[in-house]
Amino acid sequence: MTQSHATEAPAIVTVPTFGARFGAEVAGTFLLVFGVIGTAIFAAGFSGGEGGLNVGFLGVALALGLSVLVGAYAFGPVSGGHFNPAVSIGLAIAGRFAWKDVAPYIAAQLIGGIAASTLLVAIAAGGPNGFLAGARSGGFASTGWGELSPGGFSFVSALLVEILATAVLVFVILAVTGSRGAAGFAPIAIGLTLTVLALIAIPISNGSFNPARSIATAIYGGPTALAQLWLSIVAPIVGAIIAGSTFKLIFDGVRKS
């Protein structure tokens, strides 16, 4: 008997190289910082709000969510779309990401974030007289408490909101990218989550949940921003540790029928 059909060739699975993953994290973090900080610096308080042309807190929150949503769709298939050291750490703690890749991912995120803030400084330098100096004296959208808090909130308030918001973010990422998540919709859920979290946190801490974003702005935000930077590094990492270490305990205890 002759063979009735040709044997199908096995599917070829392509795995992104480390260089491609590193570049995707640089690009995605660049997009995030350029989008949210650019909106905060140039559009949030445009003309002091005269004529209703400024976008305010809502605009900045949407810029954060949309930047991450677009970045996750564009670069997520290559690197996983972390764009945030706290996310990389949280995923590693939860067993979803290799520890050996955490440090290189953080390096890529810092490069992308600092490149974005540096270009924003260059753009602001061409603004009206005193524009860049005013942006930098105001902290350059850095996160913190007291004078860096848009609402004048305390250290404890800023610490709590950054920890809790990051924990919620990492919980959502772990949930929507797991086996029970709806395929293809994870970036939408993550982007909308960030928008909601930013609406809560911007008046309190200026809403970061991301050490790479905080470092990128603090280096241009003056002495107060640099002095308070530690909170915007430590608090998101604490939140990521909480989420990464408890996710399986809380959400993976589903019985199989």
Contacts of 162 (CB under 8 A, 6+ apart): 143, 201, 205, 208, 209, 231, 232, 235, 236, 239
Decide if 10 is inside a domain. Answer: no
187 close to 172: Cβ distance less than 8 angstroms: no
Per-residue model confidence (pLDDT) at position 50: 57
Q: 146-171: per-residue pLDDT in tens?
A: 999 999 999 999 999 999 999 999 99
Decide if 226 is inside a domain. Answer: yes
Per-residue model confidence (pLDDT) at position 4: 46
Per-residue model confidence (pLDDT) at position 2: 45
Which of 23, 3, 142 shows the shortest CA–CA distance to 81? 23
Q: What percent of the chain has pLDDT over 90?
A: 80
Q: How far is CA 108 from the centre of its chain?
A: 13
Decide if 230 is inside a domain. Answer: yes
Decide if 145 is inside a domain. Answer: yes
Which of 38, 5, 236, 210 shows the shortest CA–CA distance to 118? 38
Q: 189-220: per-residue pLDDT in tens?
A: 999 999 999 999 999 999 999 999 999 999 99
pLDDT surpasses 80 at 174: yes
Q: How confident is the model at residue 1 (pLDDT cuts 50, 70, 90)?
A: very low
Q: Which domain holds residue 195?
A: 18-250
Q: 105-119: per-residue pLDDT in tens?
A: 999 999 999 999 999
Please, what is the average pLDDT of the chain?
A: 90
The 3-class secondary structure across 75-126, one letter per residue, is HHHHHCCCCCHHHHHHHHHCCCCCHHHHHHHHHHHHHHHHHHHHHHHHHHCC
Q: How confident is the model at residue 90 (pLDDT cuts 50, 70, 90)?
A: very high
Give the predicted TM-score (pTM) of the model.
Answer: 0.89
Question: Number of folded domains in the chain?
Answer: 1
Decide if 167 is inside a domain. Answer: yes
Q: What is the mean pLDDT of residues 75-83?
A: 94
CATH of the domain at 192: 1.20.1080.10
Q: What is the mean pLDDT of residues 97-102?
A: 96
Decide if 107 is inside a domain. Answer: yes
* Token pair of 134 as six digits: 């005013």
Decide if 123 is inside a domain. Answer: yes
Helices (runs of H) and strands (runs of E) counted in the chain:
9, 0
Decide if 78 is inside a domain. Answer: yes
Q: What is the mean pLDDT of residues 66-82?
A: 95
Query: Rounded to an integer, what distance in angstroms lies between the CA atom of residue 7 and that of residue 163?
Result: 55
Q: 44-60: per-residue pLDDT in tens?
A: 877 665 555 678 899 99
* Token pair of 17 as six digits: 């190289």
